[in-house]
Every structure is written in C-alpha cells, then in structure tokens.
Amino acid sequence: MSIEEAQKQVDDWIKTHGVRYFNELTNMAILTEEVGELARIMARTYGEQSFKVSDKEHNMADEMADILWVLICLANQTGVNLTGAFQKNLKKKTDRDKIRHKSNPKLK
C-alpha cells in the first residue's frame, strides 16, 4: 500500500465508520499520547525499565500503527500530501546529509 492509498483508506474509514475527524488539536494530543505509549514499550524493551503487568498487553507494532493512523488523520485534515512531503523531506536529507553521517567518527 502506498502512502497515498493509506491516506485515502483512513479518509474512507472516517467517512464510513466515524462521525468526523477529531479536531486538529485533539488529534495532536492523541498523537502525543500514542508516541508516549510507544516510548513506554521502547523503554521497557530496550532500556533499563522493567515491564509492569499492565505494559505486557501492548505491542510495539500496534503502537506504531496507531501513530501512523493519527499522523495520517492530521495530514488529511490539514491538506498535507504525505507522499509529496516525504519525497521532499528525503531529498532535503540526502542533499544535506549525503556525506555528514559517513564522515562522523562517532558512527564508525
């Protein structure tokens, strides 16, 4: 599935199963909450924190998908074409960083 197709599927789902998009500020807060849920799993999986019983029911892939869902909602409701934005961002990073990381002794 392309990013464009994902944006259309989310929009179709909202129109079919939802009432409407939550407003932009609500979705921004939800996005922050979802990133926090992923951070909790990451801290317990790769960091020093241990899992609590309540943490074990969450899975990393599902939390990442939740983040993607809300990000797509925000893009749809603000008129952002994520395919174009991603392509432009990749070009920016390539132009800016094409030798930067390879010449960073900290990464060797």
SS3 track for 48-62: CCCCCHHHCCCCHHH
Q: Where are the domains of the chain?
A: 3-81
pLDDT tens-digit map of 19-44:
999 999 999 999 999 999 999 999 99
Provide the pLDDT for residue 8.
98
Provide the pLDDT for residue 84.
97
Provide the pLDDT for residue 82.
98
pLDDT tens-digit map of 40-89:
999 999 999 888 887 777 799 999 999 999 999 999 999 999 999 999 99
> Per CATH, is 3-81 categorized as 1.10.287.1080?
yes
Would the CA dihedral through 43, 35, 59, 5 be positive or negative? Answer: negative
